[in-house]
Amino acid sequence: MHARPMTHPGFVRHHLRAILGAGALVILTTAYAAWWLYASGLLKSELSLLQERGPAVGITAQWSAIALTGFPFAVAADLEKPVYANDQIGFGWTGETLRVSFRPWSLSPVRFVAPGQQRWIVAQGENTITIDAHAKAAAASYASAPERVTLDTEETRGTVQWAETSLPFTVARAKLSGSAWIDKDKQQSLAKAVALIEADGLILQGLALPLGPKIDRLRLDAEIAPPGPQTPATVKLASAQFAADGVEIKGAGTLTLDAQGTPDGTLDLTVRGL
């Protein structure tokens, strides 16, 4: 048996294809790495601009350290001791760590992961709601056109403070998803929002609920309109579901909230299991 000489046409074609394939792979890998470096630099630049220019529009964004990571399947920035506040909508958040990431081939949606201790502050009329909580897992995502937000948490416990009320809580799992529309004509930061809220294993300690402090399942599908100069905030419940201790309550209706957050309206309810 004789080996083919190196000048044999078949031998040359075989090795030429191998060389071209390896070369193409090197070029693609280098191009992808260059794109990842560009995208990660863009993310860091955008975060820096938010930090520098945010105060001019009522936004505070701070962190003690930033590190770029995620290669090759994500472009991510890990922030230590992050702080975010938006005075226009009365919202504030602080946490232990925050990862901001997106796929290199798509800038939307942007994903946020922030486990550990957190503080949420929401201004509601003359009152402020403060939530101090610790989550085993907490992740959110944001997509534009239209603006859409999702939030998932697991094994979360903490305290809600509102005016003189302090309400400890635990929840096995909670999920929120919603879309928001901007009213540019009226120059409002929020025209309306549609939200789906789900919670399993919710325990509200110290709250005198008719069926006890534990809620097995809570589900709200609502459209929320913020207050205007002459109109109160409005919550339209397309559907509401509440289950606890073998009792299930379903309903729908419309509520308005005054400046103190006091609800007023009508709900049609169906109760089973009593």
Give me the pLDDT at residue 186, please.
45
Using only C-alpha atoms, the chain has a radius of gyration, in whole angstroms, of 26
Residues of the chain with pLDDT under 50: 1, 6, 184, 186-189
Give me the pLDDT at residue 78, please.
96
| Best CA proximity match to 94, nearest among 70, 130, 57 | 130
Give me the pLDDT at residue 10, please.
54
Give me the pLDDT at residue 182, please.
54
- φ, ψ (nearest 5 deg) of residue 193: -140, 145
Task: Please give the single-letter amino acid code of residue 216.
Answer: D
* Predicted model pTM: 0.76
Beta-bridged to residue 132, according to DSSP, are 119, 159
pLDDT tens digits along 11-45: 555 556 667 666 677 777 788 888 888 889 989 99
Give me the pLDDT at residue 32, please.
82
Give me the pLDDT at residue 104, please.
85
For residue 226, the SS3 value is coil
Handedness of CA 39, 45, 51, 54 (dihedral sign): negative
CA-based end-to-end distance of the chain: 90
